[in-house]
Structure 1
Amino acid sequence: MNSKVKVIDHPLLRHKLGYLRDKNTYSQDFREIVKEISKVLVYEAMRDWQHLEKIAIETPIAKTEAQRIVRAPVVVSIMRAGNGMLDGALSMLPFASTGFIGIYRDKFIHNTVEYYFKMPQDIKGKDVLLCDPLIATADTMIAAIDRLKNYGVGQIKVISILTSQTGLDKVHHYHPDVEVYTVNIENEMNEMGYLVPGLGDAGDRLFQTK
């Protein structure tokens, strides 16, 4: 497996993923589980964070030193499904700023269409945690990474609950430096571009739009 792909395999995650896959899981529960899994993926993505500073504090017992994260990453959502991951990500990184990319693949022109792009003014040089629950064809993910790199960001780490092997291969063909954190790699996609067995359309299930 590509060393840039981190599959976070854990019994609790497998348990929660089963509920996401289940078509009978209500939208409220679906959103909560996406939030919980997102927390774990962010935890893993931050494991090797090097930007820390030491500060002097006092506990109720004694003076000591504590560490604080500095140069926090920017959490970026690929709308709309990525928005379902934001609460989980920002609960782990409440001091992080947030960006939004609205982009989709148009089946008629066979290309991606961007309709919204909003980033913090100081994003240049900052590392990014890029959130999208699913990577299938990876076209929108690659387009989002392209745009972020145009802004001169630092390291990009992708946070995605399910991915396809085809999508991962495509991401790393164009962006071999990008790390991907996921719960599972699906072996198939159907003719509509959905992961199999997958969990359906994450945006529809998050926001009850279908």
Structure 2
Amino acid sequence: MGTTKFDSLEEYGLNVKILPSNDQVKELQTILRDKNTSRSDFKFFADRLIRLVIEESLNQLPFTKCLITTPTNAVYEGLSYQKGNCGVSIIRSGEAMEQGLRDCCRSIRIGKILVESDADTHEARVVYARFPEDISRRKVLLMYPIMSTGNTVIKAVAVLKEHQVLEENIILSNLFCTPFAIRTVGAAFPQMKILTSEIYHIAPNHFGQKYFGTD
């Protein structure tokens, strides 16, 4: 990897980006993987990591230059988000990331997708989806913290595309994923951006249960 803050991981595709590994991020990942972490600590540190991932996901959205006037009547050339962004969480674990997005963009609209696995065939299927009516014209932050196989995300993205969302307008915000999952999702949707904090062969699949206290 190079020296820029975000580097494309060529092994996984040009649109895959990962948070740089520093001591703070590694500590958060360690706490969330530790079986001895209490539920209150788990949620606190999960929210910290979520905030870091959300902040950097927002950096992938387009900005436009703008001129504003300061309180001293000076003119300042700055940046503002282009209009038309929204979030979509994959229920239930993806809902853990909603507050982090609202903390950064308090008026952003958030849709939801529920994907369940068939008890007999284990095939993922979408059972519920609710989006802003104009989602086809929006940039979408798809929120899902844990990817082990990628099957759930593939179903969710397929539904977004059925609603005319352009693949290149989707940014997957993820905390932990396996190499298999990121290869699978990247191959299925090569134009979608994927941002994660870690690629590792074992994902902390207890995340949702621990975060919501249902473990």
Shorter-chain TM-score bucket reads: 0.7 to 0.9
Equivalent in the alignment of 2:172: 158
Equivalent in the alignment of 2:138: 126
1:204 equivalenced with 2:209 (yes/no): yes
**Partner SS state of residue 199, structure 1:** coil
**Displaced runs of 4+ in structure 1, greater than 6 A?**
none
Which of 79, 95, 109 lines up with 2:121 in the alignment?
A: 109
1:175 equivalenced with 2:175 (yes/no): no
CA-atom RMSD, angstroms?
1.8
Distance 2:119 2:149 in 1: 12
Identity %: 22
Normalised by the length of structure 2, the TM-score is 0.85
Distance 1:74 1:49 in 2: 11
Farther off after superposition, 90-99 or 159-168: 90-99
Contact 2:51 2:101 in 1 (8 A): yes
**Partner SS state of residue 172, structure 2:** strand
Distance 1:70 1:5 in 2: 22
Distance 2:126 2:53 in 1: 26
Counterpart residue identity of residue 203, structure 1: G
List per-residue Cα deviations over 1:117-149 (Å, max 9, x = no partner): 111112112111111110111111000000001
Equivalent in the alignment of 1:63: 74
Measured at CA, do residues 172 and 140 of structure 1 come closer, stay the same or move farther in structure 2, by a change above 3 Å? same
List per-residue Cα deviations over 1:26-48 (Å, max 9, x = no partner): 22222222222122222222324
Contact 1:105 1:139 in 2 (8 A): no
Which of 43, 48, 56 lines up with 1:44 in the alignment?
A: 56
1:7 equivalenced with 2:12 (yes/no): no
User: Which sections of structure 2, spanning at least 5 residues, go unmatched?
Assistant: 1-10
Counterpart residue identity of residue 13, structure 1: V
Equivalent in the alignment of 1:82: 94
List per-residue Cα deviations over 1:93-135 (Å, max 9, x = no partner): 2232101001122342231132221111121121111111101
Distance 2:128 2:188 in 1: 23
Distance 1:84 1:48 in 2: 21
Measured at CA, do residues 139 and 48 of structure 1 come closer, stay the same or move farther in structure 2, by a change above 3 Å? closer
**Partner SS state of residue 94, structure 1:** coil
User: Which sections of structure 1, spanning at least 5 residues, go unmatched?
Assistant: 188-195
Count of matched residue positions in the alignment of Structure 1 and Structure 2: 200
Farther off after superposition, 9-18 or 127-136: 9-18
Distance 1:136 1:25 in 2: 21
List per-residue Cα deviations over 1:160-201 (Å, max 9, x = no partner): 1110111111112211111111111112xxxxxxxx2x3232
Distance 1:146 1:38 in 2: 24
Distance 1:14 1:72 in 2: 33
